[in-house]
Amino acid sequence: MTQLSVLFEDNHIVAINKRCGDIVQGDKTGDRTLGDEVKEYIKERYNKPGNVFIGVTHRLDRPTSGAVLFARTSKALSRLNELFKEDRAIHKTYWAVVDKKPEPLTAQLNHWLVRDTKQNKSFAYPNERKESKKASLTYRYLCSSDKFHLIEIELHTGRHHQIRAQLAAIGLRIKGDLKYGFSRSNTDGGIHLHARKIEFTHPVTGDPVTIIAPPPNDPVWNYFVRTVENGSKM
């Protein structure tokens, strides 16, 4: 059976803890997608004949890890799509390991993002300009190690490379993120940006759902998880 880290599952939705390097939905590379793996998982787990329905509700950048939500039915997909369109109906929290301690320690960032499709990169500007989209997030400093700093981010909009571009605009580089200015890559090709938590109202049952994704198992993440759990700051 496909080795997936399943965070939540019922008859309507399934949430997976995405690995760095997994691609959520097909692109020009033609690489096998996380959606393909989820289909295979459902097919094997429930011995389903024929095609298995899996709907993609949102995406994470390929080098990013964390919680990704898929729909198992068309009804759940259409309702989740509506939730994602509504302002803050789905509450998403990220963790990022950055190279500098933010000043101030907490703030809301508002920028206008312009996407450069040739570079596959977004640029953040303080004022609106042609073909720009408004981007908003709130960050909060959590703790530090000897070299790095952990911040928690709440997204208010969902834009291409939003967190990476907005943090870079205020001089914060995510560990491993060469595209947005960090000095060197991570050995696994990923970056230390993790979709930590998704909170929403279940699209069918109406129950509140909170999904928490453990970060990848590496020394930097492990240090910060222990530090946060101990409630200490450096």
Q: Is the peptide bond before 104 cis (omega within 30 degrees of 0)?
A: yes
Of 47 and 214, more confident: 214
Is residue 234's pLDDT more than 50?
A: no
> What letter would DSSP give residue 34?
H
What pTM value is reported for the model?
A: 0.93
Per-residue pLDDT reduced to its tens digit, 167-190: 999 999 999 999 999 999 999 999
Of 85 and 230, more confident: 230
Is residue 149's pLDDT more than 70?
A: yes
**Residue 76's pLDDT is what?**
95
Per-residue pLDDT reduced to its tens digit, 190-213: 999 999 999 999 999 999 999 999
Is residue 1's pLDDT more than 50?
A: no
CA angle (155, 19, 22) in 5-degree steps: 95
> For residue 79, what are the CA distances in angstroms to 58, 76, 89, 201, 229?
13, 5, 11, 10, 35
The pair of structure tokens assigned to 9 is: 């599952």
DSSP one-letter string for 57-86: -----TT-EEEEEEESSHHHHHHHHHHHHS
3-state secondary structure of 44: helix
**Residue 184's pLDDT is what?**
95
**Residue 110's pLDDT is what?**
98
Distant-in-sequence, close-in-space partners of 158: CB < 8 Å, separation ≥ 6: 58, 84, 92
**Residue 3's pLDDT is what?**
82
The residue to which tokens 């870079």 are assigned: 168
Q: Which helix (H) or strand (E) holds 194?
A: strand 193-201
Report the percentage of the chain scoring pLDDT > 70: 97
Distance CA 155, CA 186 (A): 24
Max CA-CA distance within the chain?
55
Q: Tell me the average pLDDT across 134-152.
A: 97
**Residue 26's pLDDT is what?**
74
Walk me through the domains of the chain, giving residue ranges and CATH numbers: 6-230 (3.30.2350.10)
The pair of structure tokens assigned to 165 is: 């571009």
Is residue 129's pLDDT more than 80?
A: yes
Q: Tell me the average pLDDT across 28-41.
A: 89
**Residue 87's pLDDT is what?**
62
Distance CA 105, CA 36 (A): 40
**Beta pairing partners, 132:** none
How far does Cα 134 stand from its chain's mean position? 19
Q: Tell me the average pLDDT across 6-35.
A: 91
**Residue 85's pLDDT is what?**
80
